[in-house]
Structure 1
Amino acid sequence: MTYDLTEEELELSAMVREFADTVVAPQAYEADRTHTLSMDVVSQMGELGLFGLPFPEEVGGQGGDYMALGLAIEALGRVDQSIAITLEAGVSLGAMPVFRFGTDAQRAEYLPDLLAGRALAGFGLTEPEAGSDAGATRTTARRDGDEWVIDGSKQFITNSGTPITRFVTVTAVTGTTQTPGAQARKQISTIIVPNGTPGFTVEAPYDKVGWHASDTHPLSFDGARVPAENLLGEEGRGFANFLNILDEGRIAIAALSTGAAEGCLEAAVDYAKSRTVFGSALSTRQNAQFTLARMRTRVHTARLAWHHAARLRDAGKSFAEAAAIAKLVAGDAAMDNARDATQIFGGNGFMNEFSVARHYRDSKILEIGEGTTEVQLLVIARGLGLT
């Protein structure tokens, strides 16, 4: 099915799928086994223009939109979620905040390398005590003359410690706002902190359940000083700005989840056709057929959901609720299809050399990252007028 994609969108999807099958998939098992992000693959994605897809040509992008980005992420997610999230985070969390909220000088300094895949950037939001409750941020930034002095810590930060990571954008409390008759509220801002800044430490990488080839680190800040002009966007607007970024990111994560669900379906269909049990192909067994049919339904539904959200976003319409629905539906589809595919594979599904085993480990985070399932349900409930 074409899902009403344009010829250009179909060509992009086919191109990235071929790249995924011929370049990404062959290295996926070894990268997972060794917990290594292939910088060669990242470089080739940059050469294909994938990091610049949703940005206008005048800033070095490809002139596309979020539908184009989603198609690329979905195609990569079929074969290697670690590579797909590297692209998603590099665009949605690395470059997009600079493009959306940066000054002309910040755009000129950072976007050319970010959009070409020559550099990556992280987005430091989550903290040990501030996950879904991002308003509980404890990292602080205070002005000292012409500098910001940052203290605190962040955790689970993607693309923060690669050889080409140039900076992380961190959320920090820069003051309080007092409304008469109400409790004082934290004033949260976003600040660019270049890698190598004294007092800024990228800690050792995590030993994760999945996404082994994705670069993820905790970060610490101990009197880290950056120039005052490293403020990204207006002071005190960081909370509103990162909510906007997260809404868009949920579309991309939904696309990744759809790709993962499809990758599991493709692998399970091929295996069921080739696997002989009790004298006939597993695919001839009605129980297997029904399982595969349900998997196909999940892929179809997830794809419709994220396409709808992406089209709304690209048309300049309200899309936050649609993005939440897409992430919820697609995340569930990825996890359910990974479980069913592993069951189809039997004992082989427990072996990491098979893609379904890696999808089984990788897919759980799709129900957690960029807004948990529970957060998506809250957003959807608010759309129903429930408070």
Structure 2
Amino acid sequence: MPVERALPTEEAGDLLELTRDVVAKELGPRVARDEARGTFPRDVFTTLGATGLLGLPYPSEYGGGDQPYEVYLQMVEELAAGWLAVGLGLSVHTLACFPVATYGTEDQRRRLLPELLGGELLGAYCLSEAHSGSDAAALATRAEPEADGYRVSGGKTWITHGGVADFYTLFARTGSPDSGAKGISCLHVPAATPGLEAQAPEQKMGMSSSPTAAVSFDGALVAHQDRIGAEGQGFSIALAALDSGRLGIAACAVGLAQAALDAAVDYAQQREQFGQPIANFQGVSFLLADMATQVSAARELYLSAARLRDRGHAYSRQAAMAKLFASDAAMRVTTDAVQVLGGYGYTTDFPVERFMREAKVLQIVEGTNQIQRMVIGRSLTGQG
């Protein structure tokens, strides 16, 4: 059933109705088929751009929607409930646009953002490497300064939209090999740049319609004008972007968990055993009650963090908490949804088995949940 939302403005309510309309008409009829076939829904992101949903949290003067994160995240949740690959894809695209919108020069914003936010271009975020996943400051991809720009060599792994993105927000080392976090810079790299190549997509247990691939850079030349922020500022840009991105993942987790809860409630009301719906049995109704409580708690946690962000307050700890709790809750709720459906839940005739497979990745992306616990713990003790 539709989630009742207390949105701050009438315009936000209109955006909610628009989002639900997109989910019903554009996502619902094709999600099962495209997931089974591994078909990437590129046209959906073009539609999101045309409707204004692709750039909600960014300024209207650059093609955005002027919406607070509190509103944007609820639209992400709605999309993720309809199709996780689309909700997460929107979150990743927003993450890829963040450096230009927040740290770019006025010229860069006016030159790049309208296409980035309008649906013409889809982005990817290139931080992780084969040997520097959680330890992002140890990345080795090199961007050597030259007269015409930066000559990039190296490789990135686990890139959502790898091979289908139109631009890559790349973090590469411009300082010495031992410069650590202080030697990393951020670059905007068009996908057509010679020397940039995406590898074959990974074969994953879920989200098969969302390609995840390694991306290699073999002497790719990036113009000086496409460096975002100051040289050596890249790591702080990456961390700031990830704070916002973790809220996007939390919203996706809540959307997925809500979809699983809705499917379980619907089934429990229709499935009869011993002459009555199984929803009447305490063992099932208590399970549904716990699932609903976890979904609601996770939603309030990400909304609370979003409101801090919208007011300009520090929210890194709260973003980590939201991502941690929401993704763990999604794993529990989707697993319990399979249990409610019993044997049917283990078949592809119902979507809950897909929901359970999809939920797992949310505990890993944008920093594993072990990393989130480190972030929270260090914040509590004043270590970071």
Q: Taking structure 1 as the reference length, what is the TM-score of the superposition?
A: 0.94
Local SS of the residue matching 2:82: coil
Q: 2:247 is matched with which residue?
A: 251
Q: Which residue in 1 is equivalent to 2:33?
A: 30
Output the CA distance in 2 between the equivalents of 1:69 and 1:161.
26
CA distance in 2, matches of 1:6, 1:229: 38
| Letter aligned with residue 237 of structure 1 | Q
Match of 1:91 in 2: 94
What is the SS of the residue equivalent to 1:266?
helix
CA distance in 2, matches of 1:386, 1:99: 30
**How far is the alpha carbon of 1:329 from its aligned partner?**
1.0
Shift of 1:296: 0.4
DSSP-derived class of the 2:300 partner = helix
Unaligned runs of 5+ in 1: none
SS of the aligned residue for 1:368 comes to: coil
Per the alignment, residue 167 of structure 1 pairs with: 167
Residue 184 of structure 1 deviates from its aligned partner by 7.0
Matched, 1:319 2:315: yes
* Alpha-carbon shift at residue 79 of structure 1 (Å): 2.0
The aligned amino acid for 1:95 is: C
Q: TM-score, normalised by structure 2?
A: 0.95
Contact map agreement 1:29 1:353 (CA 8 A) in 2? no
Of the structure 1 ranges 221-230 and 370-379, higher mean CA displacement relative to structure 2 is found in 221-230
Aligned equivalents of 1:90, 1:35: Cα separation in 2: 20
* Cα deviation, residue 77, structure 1: 1.2
Aligned to 2:119: 117
Aligned partners of 1:188 and 1:237 also within 8 Å: yes
Change (3 A) 1:245 1:234: same
1:1-387 matches, within 5 Å, as 4-8=6-10, 9-92=12-95, 94-162=96-164, 165-176=165-176, 187-385=183-381, 387=383
TM-superposed deviation, 1:16:
1.3
SS at match of 1:224: strand
Give the residue type in structure 2 aligned to 1:113: E
SS in 2 for 1:175: coil
Identity %: 38
Q: 1:32-88: per-residue Cα shift (whole Å, max 9, x none)? A: 011112223222211221111001111111111211210111001112100111111
In 2, the alpha carbon distance for the partners of 1:17 and 1:184 equals 45
* Structure 2 unmatched runs, 5+: none
Q: In the alignment, residue 175 of structure 2 is paired with which amino acid?
A: G
1:353: Cα distance to partner?
4.0
CA distance 1:7–1:355, shift in 2 (3 Å): farther
Q: Secondary structure at the match of 2:174?
A: strand
- Whether the 8 Å contact between 1:79 and 1:355 is mirrored in structure 2 is no
Provide the aligned C-alpha RMSD in A.
1.8
Could you report, residue by residue, the CA deviation over 1:169-212 in whole angstroms, capped at 9, with x for unpaired residues? 2111111499xxxx976501111221122211111111111111
